[in-house]
Each structure stands twice: as structure tokens, then as C-alpha cells.
Structure 1
């Protein structure tokens, strides 16, 4: 399938889009989808050189355990004075229903651990539809509390803890920041949200039957190979309890007050139906007095970097969000302009 003439795809990405199959419903057989994802990860193991990791079980109130994995540079003494590093909690994406990495193989956590450097904590939060809201976000907040409480033991500076994630992970990052503020929990230094899923109401928008390719990020499906409002609707249907309305900890865009939140980074992509919701949330953070950095990746779609990781546009995007995260945790680091 070629790229439709009206679809504003970045020229560097056009060959990759042309090779993609139509976007499939991941929830039709969620176990098969998860198994395919695990097989893909196993076929291409991450480079763990210079990184060590350890798994911990955190008791929940009901007696069950939440598993987290802590990644740390092997030469922590050389990475930071006294071996004390900032910490980043990484919440994986996957529509709240998949996306969990294999033990010791969280690529995003390993990259942040090595490049910032930082202690990175990955959270194996409970997945929908077996465990619907608020299970997943409560797990993420529990992991934040545990990390802050054990900062000395983990070699973490408790004043430099950030949360980050892509897609559903970005939504969870925003929700955890709200929870920490509202519950008087650990003070976050930063919240970094990439293509975040923040608002269940975007899936309630009517889908125009005659939506033209390239007409805008709010289209139902600017191309059948891309993420669409239909896919987002499915994710929220499987995440929220049946018949229940979302609140601010399920969908951060529903929060009425965004003041007092940590500085934020919001990255969106041109051809992503989540774009407008991400930009609206960033604007509301600005209006509430929260420092915000915004990046729009022109001509790109949701998750494009998974298919085209070696392209210039993917490398620049990754360097941008990691660079701003590093600058927040290491204030002496230099980064580029705030809004692009």
C-alpha cells in the first residue's frame, strides 16, 4: 500500500509507512497480542553492558505483590558523586493492556540509566482488561512511594525523582503526578509524557464518515495503518470499569486543577489522534503556572520510532525528550528551545 497523496507524512518516514500492514485490533485476542510482543522482545535482546538490575516485590494492601525492576549503572560511583543518582520511574505503554518488557530487558529504562545517568525503575503494573482502573495507576503510585521511601538504600537523591512514559505510560505519568500532589506524597522533580493518552473523552467524539486523509489529527483514521480514534476507544473501553465514568486519576485531562504540579514535558506527533489532547493538556498546565516544554514531531504517527528507529527524525525526537529529562534532573545540562 502506498502513501496517500493527501497524507502529510514526513518524507523520511514514507517508505516505512508504505511497508506497514493495516492496524489490527490488539484486544481481539489480547493474550495472542501479548505473546507476539514477548516473542519480538526475545528475538532482539537489549544491550545491558554496564548496567545491572534487581527485581523487587512490593506488597499491596490486599497481600499480593507488585514487581518492579531497578536498573543502575555498574559504575555508579563514577556516574555521580558518592554514587547518588536521580531516579526515573518508567511506566510502559501498550493501551493499559500490554507492553510489559521481559525481565532485565526494558530498553527505555536501560537507555535512561546509561545516558542520563539515573537509577531507573520499571513497574509491572496490573494490566487491563483483567485488572481495570484503578489497579494499574495505583500500582504506579505505590512504586513511586516505595522508591522514595527506599531512596537511601537505592542510592537515589529523593529530590530528583521523575516519572516518564509513552502513550498509556504518559497518561499514567500524568495521573501519578496528580496523585502525589493530592495525597501529599513524594515530591516529583519532573513529569515527561510522550504521545500521552490523557483523555477518555477523545474517543467519544463522532467519527466523520467522510474523513479525508491528512485532514488533521482528530480524524477517525487518516490511514488504516495508523492509530485511530477507534483504537483509542477500545483501549478506554477495556481500561475503565464497565459503566463507570473516568475521574482525574484515570484520565488526567479531567482534572479541574493543574496547579502545583511538577514541571512537564509533552511530546506529540502530527498524525496521532492523541495530538490535540496532549497539546490541550500542555496549554492547561501552562495556564496553571506549570513550566512546560512542548514538542510536535511533524509528519510522524503514534509509535513511528518503533518501525524507523534509525531515521534522523526518530533519533532527534528521542534525543530531545531524553535531553530535557536530563536537564531537569541535572540542571547544568544544556538543551535546546522549549517549544517546537
Structure 2
């Protein structure tokens, strides 16, 4: 079993192969996704000949932004003719960032100031990825970038009622419907497309999703992205494995075996991924 890990820096164990991609702000979308596609297709084409790896047992995955790229990559590959190349056998998404439509979900409200990922910084990172236009940051936080005609569909997919009740226990307030601003939408409209927001993909795209592992952390603004994506997949009876770390926060995997900075729950994240990979 081989997993291609979407990463921007660092090293990886032998069982994983990192895919390095160009970084923002020097490079904007879709450069990063294009790099991941190029590297993945190349690896799949030479896996058996050069690495003695069964190309039918290659998964893709990542954490945070890397998980976004892994999910978007699977959707892109599913929608294209890739000839003789096999489709990834699974996607491994560790606390994934999956949508730019709603930054007022319960997890964004409950964990807005929880290190190491703050609510406002998530919008900042998305905008840096897209085009670097920070002037619309507050507008996107408020939600005025979503066209009126798209709101009913997004509300169906992103409604807090789609979350298990226990994730509403810490409280949240229904965000009032903001007034749409077309100028803001046109500044960020690529962010609402499924290659940036995989959670917002059309049903026909979701139906082609490979078996999926999703890990979420309780104290993470991105928690609900992963849980809501799981629901969309389950609605189409897709194969989904979900693990939730109750005392975890965003970036936990970076605190695995880090001496005095080690968090016990980081081991839960790593063990959960390893256990899932063993099932493939």
C-alpha cells in the first residue's frame, strides 16, 4: 500500500511519498493542484516499473490544505479521461479544509480563537491561495460573497442540522442571511468551485469519490467541513471511515513525537491513519 501525501514542506516515512507543490503567494491557484495532478499521474505511470508498487493500491492524502488538495485531486481525476492510469484507491483527509462558502459554521464559532488555526486566518489562507486580494477578507467572513441563487443549495449541504447533535452542545448562533455583493463574488468566485471547495461539488462529482478516511478534531475551526463532507458521501452510500479526536486541535499531527511538545492525542491521529491504511 502506498500513499501520496500532499505536502509543502517536511519529510515522510518510507511508506509515504510526499508531493511537493509550489506555494502561495508566489504561485496562485491552480498551480498547486496542477502540481499534485502532474506528480500523481507520473507516479501512477511508473509505480510498478520503478518502485515495484501496485498502482491499483495507491491512495492520496494530506492534512489541512493538503487534504483539500487530495480531495480536489480525486475529483479532478474522476472527471477526466486518464487513459490507462488507475484511479486512487482511497483518499485520506486529516482535518481537511473543504469549503469557502460559510465561515460561520458551529465549529468556526466555537473554535474561532483556538490555536493554531484561527477563523480569520483560514479566510486569509484561502484568499492567498486564490489571488491575494485581502481587501475582501471581512466580506467573506460575513458571507456576502455567496450568490443568492446558490444559497439554498449550499444551505442544504452546510446546515448545522446536518451535524450530529453533540457538535452543537457548546452552542452557536444562527448567522443572519447577509446581503449579497456581486463585486465580492467576482473577486473570489473560483473559491466556490469544487476544485477549491470539494464539499460544494455537484452530486455527479461526489458520486465518483473513492473510499475515504476523514479525521476531525473537536477544537478545530475545520471540524464541521470534514463532518459535513462525510454526510454528503454517506448520502450516496460511499465508503467512509471517520475518526474524531475529542481532545484534538488543528495541526495535531505536527506534535507527534516532538519531545516535550508532544501531545498524546497526536498519536491518536497517526494511529488512526495507519490503521485505516492497513485495511486498504
Q: Distance in 1 between matches of 2:38 and 2:235?
A: 29
Q: Distance in 1 between matches of 2:270 and 2:256?
A: 12
Identify the range of structure 1 (165-174 vs 314-323) with the bigger mean alpha-carbon deviation. Answer: 314-323
User: Could you say which residue in structure 1 is the equivalent of 2:182?
Assistant: none
Q: Distance in 2 between matches of 1:313 and 1:128?
A: 30
Q: Distance in 1 between matches of 2:74 and 2:2?
A: 15
The normalised TM-score by structure 1 is 0.59
User: Could you say which residue in structure 2 is the equivalent of 1:265?
Assistant: 213
* Superposition CA RMSD, Å: 1.9
CA contact (8 A) 1:160 1:189 kept: yes
Task: Indicate how the Cα distance of structure 1 residues 150 and 234 shifts in structure 2: closer, same or farther if over 3 A, else same.
Answer: same
CA contact (8 A) 2:218 2:245 kept: yes
The structure whose residues are more often helix, as a share, is: 2
User: Could you say which residue in structure 1 is the equivalent of 2:266?
Assistant: 314
Deviation at 1:304, TM superposition (A): 3.0
The normalised TM-score by structure 2 is 0.71
What whole-Å deviation, never above 9, does each CA across 1:257-315 have from its counterpart, x for those lacking one?
Answer: 20022100000100111001110001101112210001111022101343464443221
2:229 to 281, 286, 294: 281
User: Could you say which residue in structure 2 is the equivalent of 1:90?
Assistant: 5
Mapped pair 1:292 → 2:240: yes
Deviation at 1:153, TM superposition (A): 1.9
Q: Distance in 2 between matches of 1:220 and 1:237?
A: 22
1:157 to 48, 54, 57: 54
In structure 1, stretches of 5+ residues that fail to align are 1-85, 93-98, 207-215, 329-340
Q: Distance in 1 between matches of 2:216 and 2:232?
A: 15
CA contact (8 A) 1:202 1:277 kept: no
1:234 to 101, 118, 124: 124
Deviation at 1:171, TM superposition (A): 0.5
Q: Distance in 2 between matches of 1:298 and 1:180?
A: 33
User: Could you say which residue in structure 2 is the equivalent of 1:100?
Assistant: 9
CA contact (8 A) 2:255 2:263 kept: no
2:198 to 247, 252, 259: 252
Q: Distance in 1 between matches of 2:101 and 2:215?
A: 20
